[in-house]
Amino acid sequence: MDFGTSRPRNSRTRTPNSANSQFHMTIRQITTFDQKTYQAIINLLPQLDDSVAPPSEDYLKNMLASGHSHLFVAVLEDNNIAGMLTLVEYSVPTGKKLWIEDVVVDISQRGKGLGKQLLLHAIQFAKTRNAKTIILTSRPHRIAANKLYQRIGFIQRETNVYAYSLK
């Protein structure tokens, strides 16, 4: 995997499905807008949070062009996108921060390791970005996701998260 360029990155992995057979899945970084990816995002986001309005095409184009949001997708053998993860990168006086957002795998593909592969790919990419830590949040009711994060090595912090609505 070449994480040092702005070209799309792919990594091929075999992930077992529930029938114990093997299938191929590719993790791809999306760096430019395309309609197929946009439609996949529109289909995936309500599975994460049905109260979130889908992004506009222009919003997604600007996000991808920013260089601060790294969108990774899980692509199945049939070329369908079955999951996504966004790694957000920003700098503050205390150092570079990386934050994982919007991790979602299509309900029909859950339990097959796609979420784990997306996370591991994002971690490998993050190691090339000169940051010390990756942060993510997850709602307590997302039990399987929280267990996965801990198995991978994320440590739950004792903290309060606050949100201030601007609208």
For the chain, what are the domain ranges?
A: 10-152
Token pair recorded at residue 107? 């309900």
Quote the distance between the C-alpha of residue 113 and its chain's center: 13
Whether 162 has a pLDDT exceeding 60, the answer reads yes
The mean pLDDT value for 117-127 works out to 96
* Residues whose CB is less than 8 angstroms from the CB of residue 69 and which lie 6 or more positions away in sequence, other chains included: 63, 86, 87, 88, 89
* pTM for the predicted model, two decimal places: 0.85
| 69-94 exposure pattern, b = at least 16 Cβ within 10 A, e = fewer | bbbbbbbbeeeebbbbbbbbbeeeee
- Architecture of the CATH domain 10-152: 3-Layer(aba) Sandwich (3.40)
Q: How far is 26 from 81, CA to CA, in rounded Å?
A: 9
Return the residue matching tokens 């949040």.
137
| Tokens matching residue 119 | 């996370």
Encoded amino acid at 157, one letter: R
CB neighbour list of residue 157: distance below 8 Å, 6 or more residues apart: none
pLDDT in tens, 1-57: 333 333 344 444 444 444 444 668 999 999 999 999 999 999 999 999 999 899 999
What confidence category does residue 121 fall into, taking pLDDT thresholds of 50, 70 and 90?
very high
End-to-end alpha-carbon separation of the chain, Å?
41
What is the spatial order of strands in the sheet that 95-105 belongs to? 10-16, 22-30, 69-76, 81-92, 95-105, 134-136
Distance CA 75, CA 81 (A): 4
- Please say if the pLDDT value at position 166 is more than 60: yes
Q: What pLDDT, in 10s, does the model give residues 89-119? A: 999 999 999 999 999 999 999 999 999 999 9
